[in-house]
Amino acid sequence: MIRFAWLQSRTQLATAYALLAAVTVAALITGVQLAHVYETSVAHCQIGCSQVTANYLSRASFMDKTLDILARVVPALLGLFWGAPLLAREFESGTYRLAWTQSISRRRWLLTRIGVGALATLTLAALFSLVVTWWYADRDRVGANTFDLLDRRDLAPVAYAVFAFAVGVMSGALIRRTVPAMAATLGLFVFARIAVNLWVRPHLLPARHAIVSLARSGPVQLGIGVNNGGSIHLFAKGGAPPNAWTQASDFVTLSGQRVSSSQLSAFLQQHCSGLIAAGRAGAPDGKAAADDPAPRCLDEVAQTFKLAVSYQPASRYWIFQWLEAGIFLMLGAAAIGVTYRWVTRRAH
């Protein structure tokens, strides 16, 4: 039965692994060159590093964009083209009846089909994620926050692929038609990814909290602007440790009480109204004039408020990787459980 399942899927497996080999070769050629540039220029840079880093990140932009897109879509494609047709094609064509009238039981037929497909999916997804993670290793050190890339590196994409395959198998078993099963697989996969990203991941671990000074020499980038309607708005960026995932940031008083938007607006109208009269949204280029209202306004803000930041430290990156991978693997196992019960007890 295993040999039969392999023979049925060998063409699509060979095609997929051939494409993986082509991507791997291209990644190796460009990746080795980028690693050499990183070691010789970026890693030991001491002067003009921002320009050196920008030049480094601009290299191999086509490969960068291609791998980034593939890292997002490959898990879904495996569910669409490997998972959904696996059983739907058998039910749609009626060939499952022939298999069930032989000496092979439904359970063995089903578990063998799923086992071979799941192993192939897991292997391909793991190899592809390894290639992508290796290629971006140096670029990620200088060009991105690790949490921003959590769903495109390391373990998480592999778990996404297994989940997509399992959902595809379940959709094919329940719907019994290939094209509708593929559509259902895509919808369920996208919904699960969005739901976990928005509503589950932020609550996996309790956030750490810090209250940070808004002084110009501090870690927060403070800015102020004037809308077309004349209202003043204040914005702040930073405050969390390097490579941390900032989940929330709010202005607070010096005693730590949260400042509402109406309170902040009233404060800005009272202390920073000179910005409106000046007709600009920030300090002018070059050295600020002595009577420029923007620096004075920001100094007043820094003396009156602080920034409360909630964040996940960079040290928790791998914890989030394992937790998110575990969530999707459990969802995939649940989908396989539904498939097993449906096919072995209800399908005819």
Average pLDDT on 1-8 reads 56
Percent of the chain with pLDDT over 90: 59
For the stretch 95-119, pLDDT in tens is 766 666 666 778 888 888 899 999 9
Instruction: Let me know whether 258 and 109 are in one domain.
Output: no
The verdict on 70 and 143 lying in the same domain is yes
Residues 133, 271: one domain? no
Q: Which tens digit of pLDDT belongs to each residue from 247-257?
A: 999 999 998 89
Say if residue 146 is in the same domain as residue 219. Answer: no
Residue 259: both structure tokens together = 């400042």
Q: Can you read off the two tokens belonging to residue 260? A: 């509402």
Q: What is the mean pLDDT of the chain?
A: 88
Same domain, 269 and 232: yes
DSSP state of 148: G
Examine the pLDDT at 258 and tell me if it is beyond 60: yes
Between the CA of residue 128 and those of 22, 70, 82, 152, what are the distances in Å? 11, 9, 16, 11
Would you place residue 283 in the very low, low, confident or very high pLDDT band (cuts 50, 70, 90)?
very low
Query: For 295-336, what is each residue's pLDDT tens digit?
Result: 888 888 899 999 999 999 999 999 999 999 999 999 999 999
Same domain, 217 and 110: no
Full-model pTM: 0.89
Report CA 108 to chain centroid distance, whole Å.
37
Residue numbers of the domain that contains 166 = 2-203+315-345
Cβ–Cβ under 8 Å, residues 161 and 78: yes
Which range among 126-140, 175-189, 278-292 shows the weakest confidence by mean pLDDT? 278-292
> What is the total count of domains within the chain?
2
Q: 120 and 153 share a domain?
A: yes
The closest of 181, 159, 179 to 169, measured between CA atoms, is: 181
Q: How far apart are CA 149 and CA 319, in angstroms?
A: 14
More confident residue, 326 or 94: 326
Give the model's pLDDT for residue 284.
45
Is 222 found in the same domain as 139?
no
What per-residue confidence (pLDDT) applies to 288? 46
Structure tokens at 203: 């609550």
pLDDT in tens, 165-176: 999 999 999 999
- State yes or no: pLDDT of 279 exceeds 90: no
Do 79 and 227 fall within a single domain? no
| 66 and 99 Cβ atoms separated by less than 8 Å | no
Average the pLDDT over 203-212 and give the result: 95
The C-alpha R_g of the chain, in whole angstroms, comes to 27
Q: 192 and 340 share a domain? A: yes
Q: What percent of the chain has pLDDT over 70?
A: 88
How sure is the predictor about 1, in pLDDT bands with cuts at 50, 70 and 90? low
Query: Can you give the pLDDT at residue 282?
Result: 45
Order the strands of the 245-253 sheet from edge to edge. Answer: 208-213, 305-312, 245-253
Chain centre to alpha carbon of residue 157: 9
- Which H or E run contains 48? none
Could you tell me if 267 and 336 lie in one domain? no
Say if residue 263 is in the same domain as residue 328. no
Q: What is the pLDDT of residues 13-35, one digit of tens each?
A: 889 999 999 999 999 999 999 99
